[in-house]
Amino acid sequence: MDEMQTNASKSCLIKIIGFGNILMGDDGIGVRIIEELQQKQIFDDKGNIELMDGGTSGIDLIFLLQDAARAIIIDAVDAGQEIGQIVVFSPNDIVEFKKKIFKSYSLHDIDLVEAFELVRTLNSTVGIKIIGIKPKRIGYSDKLSPEIENRIPEIIAKVKEEVLAD
């Protein structure tokens, strides 16, 4: 691949990043979705999609977004919805959620709100969408609660929908 093709593929690179701790029950939903996408090879035919395990460090988001045109972030999020309900929003929507309730369970050094404020301060032009699911149980377990595990196909459908969105 020549340099022009490499630059073109970077300019349309979509990073799908799952945050969470797989040893803390439903907190691991973001990482579990990444594992499922990899296992089912859902995006293997797309050369412009990169799947990433974001772990639990919000500060890493800045580095994970490098070279991306767009990013889809999957995380355990309480934005005032019911347990198991999926919400899709952009970083700008977090201001509205903060008026109600907003909690990201996965990020332990800085929270999602602070991470996006930092990204905004750095003048990032990455188009970001967050797919959040309200967890039922956060605690020592390597298993998702049935209510969250049963939502995996729906979360994957939302990821596919966001990949196709412009």
> Which pair of tokens denotes residue 51?
């799947």
In this structure, the strands spanning 86-89 and 127-133 are: antiparallel
Where do the structural domains in the chain lie, given as residue ranges? 3-164
- Give every CB contact of residue 103 below 8 A, 6+ residues apart in sequence: 77, 78, 111
If you classify domain 3-164 with CATH, what class do you get? Answer: alpha beta
Q: Give the other-Cβ count within 10 Å of 124's Cβ.
A: 18
Q: List alpha helices for 40-93, DSSP H.
A: 60-64
Per-residue pLDDT tens, the chain, 166 aa: give them.
444 444 444 569 999 999 999 999 999 999 999 999 999 999 988 889 999 999 887 778 888 888 999 999 999 998 888 999 999 998 887 766 555 555 565 555 556 667 777 777 776 788 999 999 999 999 999 999 999 999 999 999 999 999 998 6
What residue ranges in the chain does DSSP mark as E strands?
A: 14-19, 49-55, 70-78, 86-89, 103-104, 127-133
